[in-house]
Amino acid sequence: MSVAILKKEIKSKEMRNLYIFFGEERFLIDYYIKIIKEIIIEPEVNISVFRQPFNLDEFVKEIQTVPLLSDKKLLLVYDVDLDIEFLEMIPEYCIVILIFDEKPKIKNKSFELINKNGLNSLVVEYKKQSKIALNKWIIKYLESFNKSILQEDEKNAEYIIEVCNRSMYLIKNELDKLICFCHNKDYISYKDISELLPQNTNLSIFEFSNSILSQDKNRFSNFIKSLSNFQKLGPEMLSYIYSFLYDLLIVKIYAKDLEKIKKIIKPNKHFLISRLLALSPKIELNKLREYMKLIEKVEEISRYSYVDINMLIQSYLLLLSTNML
């Protein structure tokens, strides 16, 4: 709702004096700051940025200085918890945006008093976008370069979204690579994606979880073969497998308490819960715990330079697949 209000205010150019931006999706935070800069604030001299270590005297001096050749000036303040008395000092010609990564950082007395003190402010949370929203955004972004992504293969957009953990910055980076890679083509296929990113461990992580959750032996077999493309899989793969098993363990233990599961499993993996619930009855609890202990041993062994880590992980995954597929 707050994002919709912000859009209207930008369009009408009727901006508030104070905004608080926070959330996981940094791409959107930066996007709306860019829009405000371009539409509301001219020239560039009317934009000031404050970070840690924060200079309060400079901040006060800046808000007390009128804008140059403009009606407004913009102050961007990153990760600074200002007292309410300084927020009350903001004049009409100033737009101050306080930017935070996480919500807990703005849960204090100062910010609780913002609305009570009648300050002209708006708090906007930028959450990670849904798969549906990201799918639409990917299509729109590619269309701006006269490209399209083949939709008959449902893995295409989903593949990119999952690999990038729904991060719009990471997705944009991958799309930019694909646009260059497919410069002489009108569309982007699954083959293009896999050819462009053969060394991306995240792609294998995505394929690992999906082959297990889909209970597809052929897909898992192809996944095992694909690991030979990597010079070294590294700790990322081991960490993800352990995380996957941990989530599966939580779902199995609290199968009848969905709310409990959602509290324990990270929000960005909630979309997997239904599939984990379907898989969990097929695996014994003690076996699952054994696999988790084994991955700890694999991780410990992998620290020795004379061990073939790829072969070690492949052997472990084959053992895992015999009881999961």
**pLDDT tens per residue, range 170-216:** 888 888 888 988 888 888 887 787 777 544 555 555 566 666 666 66
User: Which structure tokens are listed for 149?
Assistant: 């992504």
Instruction: Kindly indicate whether the domain formed by 201-324 is annotated with CATH number 1.10.1200.10.
Output: no
- CATH code: domain 131-196 is 1.10.8.60
**CATH superfamily assigned to domain 2-125:** P-loop containing nucleotide triphosphate hydrolases (3.40.50.300)
Question: CA 111 to CA 107: how far, in whole Å?
Answer: 6
Vertex 116: Cα angle to 115 and 122 (nearest 5): 5
Contact yes or no for 117/84 (Cβ under 8 A): yes
Residue ranges per structural domain of the chain: 2-125, 131-196, 201-324
* Residue 311 clears pLDDT 90, i.e. is over it: no
Mean pLDDT lowest for which of 1-10, 69-78, 214-223, 282-291? 214-223
> What pLDDT score does 185 carry?
86
User: Which structure tokens are listed for 111?
Assistant: 């910010």
**pLDDT tens per residue, range 236-287:** 667 777 888 888 899 999 998 999 999 898 887 787 788 788 888 877 888 8
* Residue 224 clears pLDDT 60, i.e. is over it: yes
